[in-house]
């Protein structure tokens, strides 16, 4: 489910506004329908919703949508300095593998649209971008922006960058692919089964020149704090989410939550749909964050975590976790153990609610 109200910094909208201005589009026209003013976009403390950013993209495409590789042009401007603590955490990582692990752990700070998955192979590894939940009219642009942004960050982290062995997009080929070849160094495949950026697995253990364990720890904490604030929900969705995390281990179903909110399940579904979400999506979101917290900070088994999250069997939880993180729970825990030792399990989930909601 696409989260229209997810907050993020205005940096992306600022880049889009600059792109529009260079093509003769006034900022007011670029921001039409967003309730934003140019001054707010340049305010470093301001935030925008995904809904507002999509509207800006639509305004841009309405005027310049025929320009081949416009998403690539946008993605090439998303430098690591735009990403605040998330970008600094990447800079202070030790290897390409660690960069990928940190980036996926706090991906919500950088990636609002779609879902990024990493698959490591013996000779070739892939970053796969799932764009299936992005609105169709903006899907090619946002997909190109994400894939190009990843490639751009890779070049900034390493002097020579991590060369792409393959690049593919699900959408049809544009009239001119020059911009794509110049950016990636290879001719992308279009109309492919998946959006992929592939590279030689040998690069996974390449060392970063600015690795710093202490700095990375500080940056990761800032990432967690930011996620805590941005994942907070308001309205009916916020009320539902509060009830879902109130008593971990006894997660209520939609009927019970609707009764607590003094409305019918049908009315609850309608209200959540109006806010751009659903009960199932909120339950999925809460389970994902709880599972991260339990795997990182307790020694509970996969079966115990599955039961605590309300799954009838561990296999269902493992399938869901693979969908969220691109790997099974134990592999996720092993990665986290490299930077933080887990504490012993708490018998009745004594983690306080505020900390749980902010889990990243």
Residue-wise pLDDT for 62-71, tens only, equals 999 999 999 9
Average pLDDT over residues 39-61: 86
Same domain, 76 and 208: yes
Same domain, 47 and 24: yes
Residue 304 has pLDDT above 80, yes or no: yes
Domain enclosing residue 4, as ranges: 1-64
Specify the higher pLDDT residue, 113 or 341. 113
Cα–Cα distance, 59 to 74 (Å, whole number): 14
φ/ψ region of 162 (left if φ > 0, alpha if ψ in -120 to 50, else beta) reads beta
Beta strand pairing status for 47-49 and 7-9? Answer: antiparallel
Same domain, 284 and 259: yes
- In a domain, residue 226? The reply is no
- In a domain, residue 251? The reply is yes
Q: Supply the pLDDT for residue 85.
A: 67
Same domain, 76 and 205: yes
Same domain, 249 and 332: yes
Over the stretch 198-256, which tens digit does the pLDDT of each residue have? 999 999 988 877 666 655 565 566 556 655 655 566 678 878 877 777 665 567 889 99
Residue 325 has pLDDT above 60, yes or no: yes
Structural contact between residues 93 and 164, judged by C-beta atoms closer than 8 angstroms: no
Instruction: State which of 12, 46, 64 marks the end of a domain.
Output: 64
| C-alpha distances in Å from residue 193, one per residue of 90, 102, 200 | 29, 27, 20
Average pLDDT over residues 273-285: 86
As a whole-number percent, the residues of the chain with pLDDT over 70 amount to 78
Q: Supply the pLDDT for residue 233.
A: 61
Cα–Cα distance, 91 to 95 (Å, whole number): 10
Same domain, 74 and 9: no
Structural contact between residues 78 and 31, judged by C-beta atoms closer than 8 angstroms: no
Q: How many domains does the chain have?
A: 3
Residue 35's closest CA among 53, 57, 8?
53
Q: Rounded mean pLDDT of the chain?
A: 81
Q: Count how many residues are written for the chain.
A: 360
Is pTM beyond 0.75 here? no
Average pLDDT over residues 38-44: 79
- Among the ranges given (26-35, 82-91, 142-151), the one the predictor scored with the smallest mean pLDDT: 82-91
Same domain, 199 and 75: yes
- In a domain, residue 219? The reply is no
Structural contact between residues 73 and 179, judged by C-beta atoms closer than 8 angstroms: yes
- In a domain, residue 252? The reply is yes
Instruction: State which of 162, 184, 214 marks the end of a domain.
Output: 214
Same domain, 209 and 71: yes
Residue 333 has pLDDT above 80, yes or no: yes
Packing angle between helix 96-105 and helix 213-230, nearest 10 degrees? 20
Q: Supply the pLDDT for residue 349.
A: 30
Q: Supply the pLDDT for residue 342.
A: 37
- In a domain, residue 147? The reply is yes
Over the stretch 120-149, which tens digit does the pLDDT of each residue have? 999 999 999 999 889 999 999 999 999 999
Same domain, 72 and 28: no
Instruction: State which of 47, 64, 81 marks the end of a domain.
Output: 64
Same domain, 120 and 185: yes
**Structure tokens, 53:** 């950013």
- In a domain, residue 324? The reply is yes
Q: Supply the pLDDT for residue 146.
A: 93
Same domain, 294 and 350: yes
- In a domain, residue 122? The reply is yes
Same domain, 163 and 285: no
């Amino acid at each position: 489910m696409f989260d229209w109200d997810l907050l993020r910094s205005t940096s992306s909208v600022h880049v889009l506004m600059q792109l529009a201005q260079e093509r003769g589009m006034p900022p007011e026209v670029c921001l039409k329908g967003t309730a934003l003013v140019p001054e707010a976009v340049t305010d470093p403390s301001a935030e925008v919703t995904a809904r507002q950013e999509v509207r800006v993209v639509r305004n841009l495409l309405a005027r310049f949508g025929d320009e081949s590789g416009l998403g690539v042009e946008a993605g090439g401007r998303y430098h690591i300095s735009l990403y605040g603590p998330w970008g600094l955490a990447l800079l202070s990582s030790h290897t390409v593998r660690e960069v990928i692990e940190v980036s996926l752990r706090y991906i919500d700070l950088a990636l609002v649209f779609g879902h990024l998955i990493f698959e490591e192979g013996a000779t070739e590894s892939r970053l796969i971008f799932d764009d299936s939940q992005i609105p169709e009219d903006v899907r090619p642009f946002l997909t190109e922006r994400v894939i190009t942004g990843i490639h751009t960050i890779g070049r900034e982290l390493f002097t020579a960058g991590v060369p792409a062995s393959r690049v593919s997009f699900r959408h049809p080929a544009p009239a001119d692919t020059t911009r794509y070849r110049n950016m990636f160094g290879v001719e992308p495949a279009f109309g492919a089964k998946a959006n992929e950026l592939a590279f030689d697995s040998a690069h996974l253990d390449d060392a970063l020149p600015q690795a710093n364990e202490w700095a990375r720890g500080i940056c990761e904490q800032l990432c967690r704090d930011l996620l805590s604030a941005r994942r907070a929900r308001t309205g009916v969705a916020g009320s539902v989410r509060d009830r879902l995390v109130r008593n971990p281990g006894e997660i209520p179903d939609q009927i019970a939550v609707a009764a607590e909110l003094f409305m019918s399940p049908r009315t609850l579904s309608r209200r959540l749909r109006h806010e751009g979400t659903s009960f199932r999506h909120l339950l999925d979101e809460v389970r994902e964050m709880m599972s991260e917290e339990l795997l990182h900070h307790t020694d509970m088994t996969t079966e115990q975590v599955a039961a605590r999250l309300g799954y009838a069997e561990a296999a269902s939880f493992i399938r869901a976790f693979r969908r969220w993180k691109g790997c099974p729970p134990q592999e996720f825990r092993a990665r986290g153990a490299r930077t933080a030792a887990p504490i012993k399990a708490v018998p009745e989930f004594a983690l306080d609610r505020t900390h749980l909601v902010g889990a990243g």
